[in-house]
Structure 1
Amino acid sequence: MKHDKKQEFKSSGVLTLLGLVGFSATIIASPWNQSTQDVQTKAALQKAEVVGYQVVQIYREATKVSSAPKVSSGGRLPASVAPVSDSLDSLRETGTMGTDPWGQPYHYRVLPNAERSSNIRIVVWSSGPNSKVESKELENEDQKIVGQPSFGGDDVGVVLSMSQN
């Protein structure tokens, strides 16, 4: 007669099995999680461009109003034309506009024009999933940005250069 071995259910076997299942799930879920973050980052970059174009359009409209012909003393301007002093002075060179995929506002900054051309240079960025600005150049509004800004950490953004006309 053959002796049948009784199979025992040991806790070490269960822990090994759970470890293998957890490891397999981590390997499978990691690319999926990364692709979700990539999709959000791409969406943030695309929307940053749109926000940049909107800010540039605001500046274009303001320069058109400011270049309107001045009326001699005693004359009147149409109601739709703002006085020259109010149009460009009230525009901020830095600010926020819209929201990124993580629910935080996009930041923008109009860069000084070193070449004295008629182009507007603007940088638009998102602070990313952690909602902290990690780009040292962009953190301080008083600091001058020379050249192309570098985005640090998980910050994403674009630099646009467009004609004012």
Structure 2
Amino acid sequence: MDTFTFPIQRAFWFLCLLMVSGISNAKTHPSYLTPEYCESLVEQFVGSGMRSLDKYVNENFNPAYRGGIRNTIQFLEQRSAWLKECDDYLTDTAQVNVFYSSEISRKIFTAMDALAKELQHVREGVEYPDDAGNNNPAPFIKRRYKTLAQLVDRHHTRMLMKKQFR
């Protein structure tokens, strides 16, 4: 074997090793994840999901009913997990985010988590005294919800504008 062949073989094996290790470390996603699935998930959350949250927070929220609070926390956590899974998938496969940008996606996820956390505090019995000294968590919950609603509305408006100019 000449001295020229050995370095070429070594380089070839090194490249093969890199390719194999790159493939084995590649992120895999469940087969049900598609751009269409993720888009429908976002539309459901932005539409009926946010309407349901709005009705709960602004009309039906009552700290005495822990079951409703638990269900709302579970709804938020589940949707957050689903949307984050789609965001990871879309980022990896299409270099886009589930919401119109990585910044707004991060902010929406943060707002969802903050609302769920605030609801969990209420469920655990944390006191929210108002000016009269009464326990009144409603303004805190409404403020968290309003932050989420404004961010989702910003995304929704942008998507409507995008569809208008297609």
TM-score by length of 2: 0.27
Over alpha carbons, which structure has the higher Rg? 1
